[in-house]
């Protein structure tokens, strides 16, 4: 299988910037098959919808580097969509992704149990980490060929974690779009999109507190996002 990462431009490390709070957006519901989200009609009208390709390559990687312990984890269970503008090339105009907290694995089963527990991310009360894209601003083309076009810009999104929602900006996010071809069909059917971004989550900003934070768990957790999406939803792949 051809890896999409072999034809994507590398995304530079980006810094998360918190911005002033904006009116909350409604949260999309999961489709009946659980493989994607129901795209609101208002978002469908904004452009071309791409659906996250779930349960394939790693989508989320996180790293906590604390004085007494380094923790690395990942998930490939993100569901959701992104809407690409038909007017402004490479510009995402809407999108939403849900990361099930229970899907985050660190390689140690007991630690995973602690992660989802009430003292930490409390998966029972807050089962998903939710990202709702407001816009990709200042998007500019960085690379282009017959096979793909890459764009870089700042993702503005609402991040909901542990029941707390904050609007953030993630500079130097990369969006790569690929029209369907023999090469892309080895990965998935339909036109494809890849979204790459790196940002930092400060646990205290989302009401996550524990005596070991700062010693065994870092105050700031680094997040690496590698989402691959297709214009054909999962049930048509």
Tell whether pTM > 0.85.
yes
Do 229 and 84 meet the contact criterion of CB atoms below 8 Å apart?
no
CB-based contact 190:230 (threshold 8 Å) = yes
Query: How far, CA to CA in Å, does 232 sit from each of 22, 39, 53, 182, 237?
Result: 32, 13, 10, 16, 7
Q: Go through the chain and tell me how many residues it has.
A: 237
pLDDT of residue 22: 75
Helix (H, G, I), strand (E, B) or coil at 184: helix
Contact between 100 and 77 (Cβ < 8 Å): yes
Which of 42, 53, 130, 54 minimizes the C-alpha distance to 94? 42
Q: What is the predicted pLDDT for the residue at 21?
A: 59
End-to-end CA distance of the chain: 15
Give the E-state strand segments of 86-127 in sequence order.
Answer: 92-100
Q: What pLDDT does 16 receive?
A: 60
Tally helices (H) and strands (E) across the chain: 3, 11
- Residue 45 CA to residue 47 CA, distance in Å, equals 6
Placement of tokens 């646990």 in the chain: 203
38 φ, ψ (degrees, to nearest 5): -80, 115
Each of the 237 residues of the chain gets a pLDDT tens digit; together they read 334 443 333 333 445 655 655 788 999 999 999 999 999 999 999 999 999 999 989 999 999 999 999 999 999 999 999 999 999 999 999 999 999 999 999 999 999 999 999 999 999 999 999 999 999 999 999 999 999 999 999 999 999 999 999 999 999 999 999 999 999 999 999 999 999 999 999 999 999 999 999 999 999 999 999 999 999 999 999
pLDDT computed for residue 106 by the predictor = 98
∠ CA 112-207-123, rounded to 5°: 35
- Contacts of residue 36, Cβ cutoff 8 Å, sequence gap at least 6: 30, 51, 52, 54, 79, 80, 81, 233, 234
| Pairwise CA distance, residues 10 & 196, whole Å | 8
The pLDDT score that the predictor gives to residue 9 is 36
Which residues, including other chains, have CB under 8 Å from residue 4's CB and lie 6 or more apart? Answer: 57, 178, 187, 192, 194, 228
Distance CA 237, CA 231 (A): 10
CATH topology of domain 4-21+33-236: Lipocalin (2.40.128)
């Amino acid at each position: 299988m051809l890896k999409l990462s072999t034809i994507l431009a590398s995304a530079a490390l980006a810094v998360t910037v918190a911005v002033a709070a904006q009116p909350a957006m409604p949260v999309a519901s999961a489709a009946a098959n659980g493989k994607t989200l129901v795209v609101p009609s208002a978002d469908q009208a904004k452009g071309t919808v791409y659906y996250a390709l779930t349960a394939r390559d790693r989508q989320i990687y996180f790293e906590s580097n604390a004085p007494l312990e380094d923790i690395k984890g990942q998930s490939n269970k993100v569901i959701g969509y992104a809407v690409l503008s038909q007017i402004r090339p490479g510009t995402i105009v809407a999108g939403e992704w849900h990361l099930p907290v229970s899907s985050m694995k660190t390689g140690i089963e007991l630690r995973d149990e602690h992660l989802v527990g009430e003292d930490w991310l409390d998966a029972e009360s807050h089962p998903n980490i939710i990202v709702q894209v407001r816009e990709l601003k200042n998007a500019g083309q960085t690379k282009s060929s017959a096979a793909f076009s890459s764009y870089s810009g700042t993702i503005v999104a609402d991040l909901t974690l542990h029941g707390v929602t904050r609007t953030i900006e993630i500079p130097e996010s990369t969006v790569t779009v690929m029209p369907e071809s023999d090469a892309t069909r080895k990965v998935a059917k339909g036109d494809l999109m890849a979204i790459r971004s790196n940002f930092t989550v400060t646990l205290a900003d989302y009401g996550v507190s524990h005596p070991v934070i700062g010693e065994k768990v870092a105050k700031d957790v680094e997040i690496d996002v590698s989402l691959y999406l297709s214009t054909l939803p999962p049930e048509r792949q």
